[in-house]
Amino acid sequence: MPNRYAENFLSFVNDSPTPFHAVHSAKKLLGEAGFTEVKPGGPIAMIGAHTDSPCLRVKPISKKQCDGFLQVGVETYGGGIWHTWFDRDLSIAGRAMVKTKAGNFESKLIKVDRPILRIPTLAIHLDRQEAFSFNKENQLFPIAGLIAAELNRKPAQPDIPKDSNAPFQPLKVLTERHHPAIVEEIAGAAGVKPGDVVDFEALLYDTQKSVIGGINNELIFSARLDNLMMSFCSVIGLLEAIKPREDEEDSSISLVSLFDHEEIGSKSAQGADSNLLPSVIRRLSVLPCSQGTHQNSSKIISPDTSTAYEQTLSTSFLVSADMAHGVHPNYAGKYESDHRPEINQGTVIKVNANARYATNSPGIVLLQEVARRADDGKGVPLQLFVVRNDSSCGSTIGPMLSAAMGARTLDLGNPQLSMHSVRETGGAYDIEHAVKLFQSFFVHYAEVHKSIIVE
Ligand SMILES: [Zn+2]
């Protein structure tokens, strides 16, 4: 087995089939390490990543059937490589809003562990098309079983009899909008009775677990590498950065921000194009700056609150961490000849002249210094990526956060293949590279940023 970082990542990704779960997993790691408070004052070393991945999502009314099959209506989320979702053992996960005994509504994470859905391909004998094309509404359409089996099934709970005194329902009840068997699975996963599930957000996920792969255990075959790998590495980097630190002098605030909705443009309350990160920084920036180790009031310096935010940002730095494209041996021509990041050769700094990435030269210098100091001075490798001029280019949360805050920013990410496939490929050793790089960023930022002078 390659290393414990890769092993720990496998549990993280397996426990995180949806963005809701990813946030829960990250909070758990921080909670176990005793995270409760922020240390005020000084510059902020930030890493931003996203927890969402392209997927299929159960429609608000999903109950469909045809030719003896139960079917579940789904909506596409983000730009997935949708043909990879065919013939996979799919299930659902997400969150359910459930009624409590006190009459309140509570959100519960749900994950159905067995494969209950599948999108079957058509036999080649019936359609000899050279390129696989399909309709995203009618053919990217999962089956959930057979109507006959559903009719023979004894429901877990008899339906509540329709009675004329029943309270008014603004929407059709859940078991009319979705197959009752699906609602029962969700209720079971939430540990409540089917009648107590009021609504849910359910995403489809592939039940095949993430694994270490490759002849020498050097690869990772997994769903959601983009961008759970960077979410995981930033949280672990933060945890490893706080461990050995006794010198509280000359340090910066360490901040990890995990956003939802990157794959659909980030414009939402929990997306990167919201006021979330700026308002957190605004709060951190006006906290008194503690000088020295004692809580002596004469040593607490209150910042000038009118410009504290701008001052904090002028000395802070954001690493926008999102997966990068490693060179693909079968499509080598798609990559710029001098910029072909290799799997397991280190985290990739992403550069784009048209600001699709926020990286600039002072940022590269800073990151190089951080990488040199990583792993107790042994250092971790870095790579550079630029897209071909005749190719389209993705973007990240880097440029939008950089613009919103006026903070220096750099885009980077670990190299992977098949980004946005339901089953992606990455490097088992790059997890450790990124964790050690981020750890070093948090530990050394305050010292390193002072040594980089830009007019
Ligand atoms: Zn991404």
Q: How many whole angstroms from 424 Cα to the centroid of ligand 1?
A: 12
Is the pLDDT at 180 greater than 90? The verdict is: yes
34-43, 301-310, 395-404: least confidently modelled range: 34-43
In the DSSP assignment, the letter for residue 118 is B
Q: Which residues of 373-403 are buried (b: 16+ CB within 10 A; e: fewer)?
A: bbbeeebbebbbbbbeeeeeebbbbbbbbbe
- Identify the band that residue 291 occupies on the pLDDT scale cut at 50, 70 and 90: very low
- Do 326 and 343 form a contact (C-beta atoms < 8 A)? yes
Residue 356 CA to ligand 1 center (angstroms) comes to: 13
Q: How far is the CA of 380 from the centre of ligand 1 (A)?
A: 22
Is a pLDDT exceeding 70 seen at residue 104?
yes
CATH code of the region 4-53+223-450: 3.40.630.10
Predicted local distance difference test score (pLDDT) of residue 300: 53
Residue spans of the domains in the chain: they are 4-53+223-450, 55-206
- Give the strand pairing for 382-385 and 408-413: unpaired
Q: Which of the four pLDDT bands, split at 50, 70 and 90, describes residue 303? A: low
Return the DSSP state at 263: G
Over residues 216-222, the mean pLDDT reads 98
Distance 52 CA to ligand 1 centre (A): 8
Report the alpha-carbon distance of residue 128 to residue 125 in Å, rounded: 6
Q: Quick check: 294 pLDDT over 50?
A: no
Q: Report how far apart, in Å, the C-alpha atoms of 204 and of each of 77, 89, 94, 218, 288 are.
A: 10, 10, 9, 28, 46
Ligand 1 geometric centre to CA of 155 (Å): 41
The pair of structure tokens assigned to 73 is 């209506």
Q: Assign domain 55-206 to its CATH superfamily.
A: Aminopeptidase i, Domain 2 (2.30.250.10)
CA gap 51, 434 in Å, rounded: 17
Mean pLDDT of the chain: 90
In this prediction, residue 157 carries a pLDDT of: 56
Q: From ligand 1's centre to the CA of 273, what distance in Å? A: 15
- pLDDT at 135 (0 to 100): 95
Burial class (CB in 10 A: 0-12, 13-18, 19+), 290: middle
pLDDT-derived band at 296, boundaries 50, 70, 90: very low
Does residue 109 have a pLDDT over 50? yes
Helix 308-315, helix 276-285: angle, nearest 10: 100
Instruction: Kindly give the distance from the C-alpha atom of residue 100 to the centroid of ligand 1, in angstroms, as a whole number.
Output: 36
In the prediction, which pLDDT does 13 show?
95
Q: Percent of the chain scored above 90 by pLDDT?
A: 71
Tell me which of 186-195, 343-352, 370-379, 392-401 is least confident: 392-401
Nearest-angstrom CA–CA distance, 35 and 20: 20
Question: What average pLDDT score do residues 112-116 get?
Answer: 97
Helices H, strands E: what count in the chain? 11, 19
Out of 62-76, 154-168, 296-310, give the one with best mean pLDDT: 62-76
Q: What tokens does 350 get? A: 């992403």
In whole angstroms, what is the distance from residue 316 CA to residue 47 CA? 11
pLDDT band at 354 (very low <50, low <70, confident <90, very high): confident
375-430 per-position pLDDT tens digit = 999 999 999 998 899 888 888 999 999 988 888 999 999 999 999 999 999 999 99
| Banded pLDDT at 1 (limits 50, 70, 90) | low
> What Å distances lie between residue 375 and 6, 162, 438, CA to CA?
16, 66, 10
Ligand 1: centre distance to CA 324 (Å): 8
| % of the chain exceeding 70 in pLDDT | 91
